[in-house]
Structure 1
Amino acid sequence: MRLLTHFLSAALVCLFHTTVAQPHFGTSMQGLVAGATGPLAIGLEEPVLAGKGKLQLQWVLNSTLQKGYINVERSSYKQGPFEVLAVLRQDGTSGKFVDEQPLKGKCYYRIKWVPENGWQQFSRIVSSSFAGDMTCKFYPNPVDNMLIVRSEQALELLLTDANGKIYINKKLKSGLQTVDVSGLDKGLYIIILTQTESGRVITEKLIKN
């Protein structure tokens, strides 16, 4: 009987020490876990034009409690891989970055927020269709009465003679557009097409029959 009593006492002591030795996660640890899996810390806006041939990204942080760094990342594909364009010190609630040489065609961006506490988070992925080499054609050449212009961007058409005298100055929408040139005299002209979004300028000779 005395041996059984000693055995039960030893078992209770071991159970007590095992319980005390277990790690305790308080509210601070719960908050960190929730922060890592909860709402995104970054509100990334859609890219906007920032002058000819440039795109601007802007973002807002949901929390200002931690200083840290922002990685601006870009890819030709939504699934990646992403390249790091810039690493910026982030001390405030907002930030911006200008991509001076966007990729041709569809371009995807995301922001990685690296605060000093180490909990890295990514923003949502945003995209923009921006190409510095966009399709822009005009025909026929030589032309009789109607000139056809096809462009993926809105553009400005300027038609001059060899001395720079302007005969036609028109703004055209993207897609297929027609320009009446029936009133022009026969001869050689210079056609200048300036794409509104990319700022690309195309200069060619145009012959009027």
Structure 2
Amino acid sequence: MQKIKKPNELLPQIFKTIMMKKIYLFLLSLGIWGTNLFAQPVSDANGTTAEANNASTLTISGFSVPANNNRLLVVCTYNGLNATAPSVTFNGNAMTVAIQRQNSSGVVLGLHYIVLGSDVSATTGDIVATGSGIYRLGAASYHDVDQTTPTGGETSNIFSGSPTSNTLTVTSATNELVCDCIGATASGFTGFNVGANQTQVFQSALTPGGLPSAIAMSTEAGAASVDMSWTINGSGSFIGVHAGMGLKPVGGVVPVKWTYFKGQPANKSTQLFWQTASEQNNAGFEIHRSSDGRTWEKQAFIEGAGTTSKVQNYRWTDEQPLTGMNYYRLKQMDYDGRFEYSDVVGIQLLVDHAQLAVRPNPVQSGEVTLYFPETDFEEARLEIFNSIGSLVQTKRLVSNETTIQTSHLPKGIYWFSVRVNGRKMTEKVV
């Protein structure tokens, strides 16, 4: 049999030092995070558009809403003469019409939205508008938006003839973010210029086909009222619609005001710690764990303090962390069903094989990985015994790190025993 190389023949000195320890937990990161009272909604700066000429369906494919808290997707639609107002979906889910306005020529402009909650990974899907006479479709996402009543102060106006600009006054409140969309069509139309105090989110192309048409979206910080102004460039007889609304910040009082969330090694386990400065309507915290930061499993639930202005300290111990990387997050849950996620803490579990180790233990997915220290051996053998001492499986081992299938074994307690170089090592496995 070919001699198996020792780790110190393969690894640099820093890893040799780590492997000398029985178990070494390396804290990858500490998440320290918080939520501000009355935080203004924020644009994700991902505005994009799609163009058509009198279409019945128009799609923005693979639109991505970044990971964040309290997300909102806003879509603007623009339909041509004598068209019907479209319906809009994202990932197959119907979007809500916030405002829709049709001028005397039959041009329809609409603002649609869908709340997407909080997540630590991006949400990607197709935006599909279905109707008649669809010319333009634009989309942008925002975060820190109230998920129950995300919009307010909806208003619109229409314009025609030869205007050089259009202004829409939107009634809003401090800490709202005003969002507007304008659309126009004319034979000599060349596009829009955004107002001095606004931030352009997107502007569509003038083509394809038919009379030149375009839509554009912008944002501006809210106040008692905000004037959303656009310069209309070009010549000809314009027809157009302008609509706007305020995006509302997450509720007036934040359910939980965070101080920190962090983790640390603790012998063979990992420990999580978090602190809140105040809580309102807080039912508690689900603790989620992941091996890749994408797929999460609930591990435990810790009750919250309900409503309190006093500092609260929490801790939880994972007695059976995964071998390799462990990612943790908290899902803070209100009594009314609202929730938000924390940042992510990552902790890596490295085993130096100082003795026989079987992971995960308890078994979770029908297989385990066993480790033992010897790397220079001619033969090693695994024996598995059940709780009454009967031998149920044997296996010849050629490596000191081996994956063993356990799905065929009934649930219960087993003893994994490895014999190598005249030595016997045993580990209890559940």
Class of the TM-score when normalised by the shorter of the 2 chains: 0.3 to 0.5
Counting strand residues as a fraction of each chain, which structure ranks higher?
Answer: 2
TM-score calculated relative to the size of structure 2:
0.24
